[in-house]
Amino acid sequence: MQSLLTKKVDRGFDATIRDATELPRGSAADGSQNVLYSRGTIKTPYGFGKVEADSLPLDSGNAVLFAGIYTELDKTQHFLSCTQNKIYRRDIEGSQWNDITQAGVSLGGGIYSPMSIASVLHTDGLALNGTGNSWYHHCLVSTGGVSPIQRWAGKFETDFADLLGADGYHTVGSGITKHYAEQVGAFYNRVILVNPKEADANGNLIDNNQRLRWPQAGKLETWNGTGSGYRDLLDTGGSNMRGALLGTQWIQYQNNSIWSLTHVGGTRVFEPDIEIPDLGLLAPYLLYSKNNVHYFVGNDYNLYAYYSGSNIVNIGRKIQRFLERDLDSAYIDRCWLYMGAENSRLWLYIVPNGKTEVTQAYGIDIHTGSWMKRDFTHKWTTGGVTCVSLVGASSYYAGQSYREAINSSQSPSKNVAIGGAVRSSNVVTVTTDIPHGFIVGETVTLAGCDSGGETDAFDGDHTIASKPSTTTFTFSQTGADEANGAAGTATVDKAMTYQDAVNIEETYRQALQETLIKERIVLADSTGYVYQHDDDLTQDDGIDIPSRHITEVYDLGLPGKNKLWPGIRITAKGTGVIVSYRTGNFETTDTGWTAFAEQELTSEFTDYKLTIWDTSKKIQFRFTNADGDDFQISNYEVIEPTIMAEV
């Protein structure tokens, strides 16, 4: 008799096999969901929680259409979220979302107008906030051609502004200086506009769905003259969908073909070539670039890995049938493709039949090729996910850099009113009426604080030892335990020097709080909420995740003979798992199951045996959770049955 021990339990889906009795041992039958097939185990997935929940929803509950990261030259990262009307920046230190939309402007974005973001370094300096110092690095945001492209200089600029210079290519007399394009990108020290709209003499914006346009080299707002230009990609008869860098080329995906754009210099600047003439991109957000590989969903509903030229690999064959069955093609523009944290899994987020927003995702383990499925209808019974992003690994500092600290503490002196002083165990805590802005290590002078009745005076010069809050600071002073009322002032007129910091064993970097942020998938929804996956979470926004793995069907190659099934053994860890079996109704997901009582698990892999003693020609098993329990299964074994004809 063949061994019925399954050690490789993480094979995942294979939709090319329709009969569950023919699936390889350790596969996932159709209907499995919310489990990860990872590194030789079946496990419940990670959950997600709100990002800066106290300032959500964004934009009064309008849908979040796009999220992305802008990294400044000094590696400062900004997590941006765009709604129909506004652009927000996550303020990690302040635990909130800040509206940085251009004053008086409503973006007017829409769910059918794919947004994009680009980072551009340029030589034509633009004044910060319109009147400040010139700046040479900007973030650009396109709303898919609905409204003018926006620019922002990062932390030194209050809000976004219009990108100008489009009168360099609009028809003379149009009076329009702003840019409109379906996508904004950057390539060879130039901005790339995909499908730019160009105004006629009457100011009417004309679509150009096969055009790529660029400015002079290194310029952000000079769009005519030597080095500027455009190319129309006409030969395949398709329209541009989305483009992205791949090595030293810009790859432009049309709805029916794939083109490359190569830098050749001279008056032509860029030269286009058709790389693949008969395969295009299904929808704008179904392209993702990672580690010099493009992943995309083709117009044939297959998922591909593209490496340049004609070097392309089909990696989605095992779920193509499921996609064609599940995905509502009317909402294909609302679907997303994104890589998970640390290049672990590539996720395809889809709008399933009967829904209008994303509520399902198919994922492939990049290392093993195993396919799995996430279902979010337990979280979104209505509405759903409207954008997906990956927030890269980064760090941030809560506090000022040393130079900022020095600059902010120079004259004029900081002078604030004292709201009270308390000495306890030779430590004085001073409360100020307003935030004081003092820095640990600075010398503070207290004056007028004493009433004359103290055992030991508070007044005098002291070195700030700590800053418990924005309106308190402490210093060491030997004296009796006593308190004083609101009187006097606290003054700092000397910046903390580096040597001061060293003397108190606290360099400026040590004075900051450094926080490491791991790479994470971000989801945002149709009601203005932003969520972030976290491997510490076992729920989706506080809601239990219903996990379900359905095994292959066992008939031992003898489909016509009855068998007496003794039971099943599993090796598992976690908090709890429910094992079920059925002997019929294999074409359904929920029908015919007989469930055992929930098996409590431990933190270590342990063997468990469940007894069945049931007779049938075939049998199938299911592993589920209850009440948010988590489990991880490393192997399972169907105990060898007795063939009834042999009894």
Asked whether 492 and 438 are in contact (CB, 8 A), the reply is yes
Query: 187-196, 358-367, 485-494: which has the minimum mean pLDDT?
Result: 485-494
d(CA 267, CA 256): 29
For residues 620-628, average pLDDT: 94
322-340 residue pLDDT tens: 999 999 999 999 999 999 8
Phi/psi at 96 (5° precision): -160, 170
The predicted pLDDT at position 423 comes to 94
d(CA 4, CA 584): 20
* Residue 499 DSSP one-character state: H
Report H helices in 463-568.
498-503
Range(s) of the chain covered by CATH 2.40.30.20? 400-511
The predicted pLDDT at position 517 comes to 57
Asked whether 68 and 389 are in contact (CB, 8 A), the reply is yes
The predicted pLDDT at position 3 comes to 66
Averaged pLDDT score across all residues of the chain? 91
The predicted pLDDT at position 494 comes to 55
pTM (two decimals): 0.81
- Per cent of the chain over pLDDT 70 is 92
d(CA 391, CA 292): 18
Asked whether 211 and 230 are in contact (CB, 8 A), the reply is yes
Residue closest to 322 by CA, chosen among 585, 15, 587: 15
pLDDT band at residue 516, thresholds of 50, 70 and 90? very low
pLDDT band at residue 93, thresholds of 50, 70 and 90? confident
Asked whether 532 and 390 are in contact (CB, 8 A), the reply is no
For residues 89-115, average pLDDT: 92
Residue closest to 554 by CA, chosen among 545, 563, 543, 542: 563
For residues 613-630, average pLDDT: 95
The first and second tokens of residue 406, run together, are 């020095």
Range(s) of the chain covered by CATH 2.60.120.260? 5-44+545-646
Residue closest to 230 by CA, chosen among 200, 201, 287, 190: 190
The CA–CA distances, whole Å, from 25 to 2, 365, 567 equal: 12, 18, 17
Asked whether 335 and 326 are in contact (CB, 8 A), the reply is no
d(CA 250, CA 244): 6
pLDDT band at residue 412, thresholds of 50, 70 and 90? very low
d(CA 620, CA 602): 25
Amino acid in the structure at residue 35: V
The predicted pLDDT at position 38 comes to 85
The predicted pLDDT at position 400 comes to 46
The first and second tokens of residue 473, run together, are 């600071």
d(CA 213, CA 96): 37
The predicted pLDDT at position 232 comes to 98
pLDDT band at residue 2, thresholds of 50, 70 and 90? low
d(CA 492, CA 111): 53
242-251 residue pLDDT tens: 999 999 999 9
451-465 residue pLDDT tens: 778 888 899 999 999
Query: 350-364, 377-391, 501-515: which has the minimum mean pLDDT?
Result: 501-515
Q: Which CATH superfamily is domain 5-44+545-646 in?
A: Galactose-binding domain-like (2.60.120.260)
d(CA 554, CA 25): 9
pLDDT at 552 over 90: yes
Radius of gyration, CA atoms only, the chain: 31
pLDDT at 540 over 60: yes
pLDDT at 355 over 80: yes
pLDDT at 19 over 50: yes
Positive/negative CA dihedral, 620, 621, 624, 630: negative
> CA 20, 22, 27: angle at the middle one, nearest 5?
65
The predicted pLDDT at position 413 comes to 61
For residues 574-600, average pLDDT: 96
314-325 residue pLDDT tens: 999 999 999 999
pLDDT at 18 over 70: yes
**Under CATH, which number does the domain 400-511 receive?**
2.40.30.20
Q: 61 by DSSP, 3-state: which? A: helix
Asked whether 405 and 418 are in contact (CB, 8 A), the reply is no
For residues 207-215, average pLDDT: 98
pLDDT band at residue 399, thresholds of 50, 70 and 90? very low
Query: 20-34, 57-71, 498-512, 557-571: which has the minimum mean pLDDT?
Result: 498-512
Residue closest to 176 by CA, chosen among 184, 166, 185, 186: 166
pLDDT at 254 over 90: yes
Give the CA dihedral 458, 463, 465, 467, nearest 10 degrees. 80
d(CA 299, CA 257): 9
Asked whether 26 and 17 are in contact (CB, 8 A), the reply is no
The predicted pLDDT at position 646 comes to 54
147-158 residue pLDDT tens: 999 999 999 999
For residues 267-275, average pLDDT: 95
Asked whether 285 and 292 are in contact (CB, 8 A), the reply is no
Exposed, middle or buried by CB within 10 Å (0-12, 13-18, 19+), for 390? buried
The predicted pLDDT at position 470 comes to 85
pLDDT at 358 over 50: yes
3-state secondary structure 379-424: CCCCCCEEEEEEECCEEEEECCCHHHHHHHCCCCCEEEEEEEEEEE
Amino acid in the structure at residue 627: D
Question: Is the backbone peptide bond immediately before 272 cis, with ω within 30 degrees of 0?
Answer: no
- DSSP string of 163-217? ---GGGTSPTT----S-EEEEEEEETTEEEEEEEEEE-TTS-EE--TTEEEE-ST
Better-scored residue on pLDDT, 486 or 239: 239
Exposed, middle or buried by CB within 10 Å (0-12, 13-18, 19+), for 29? buried
pLDDT band at residue 472, thresholds of 50, 70 and 90? very high
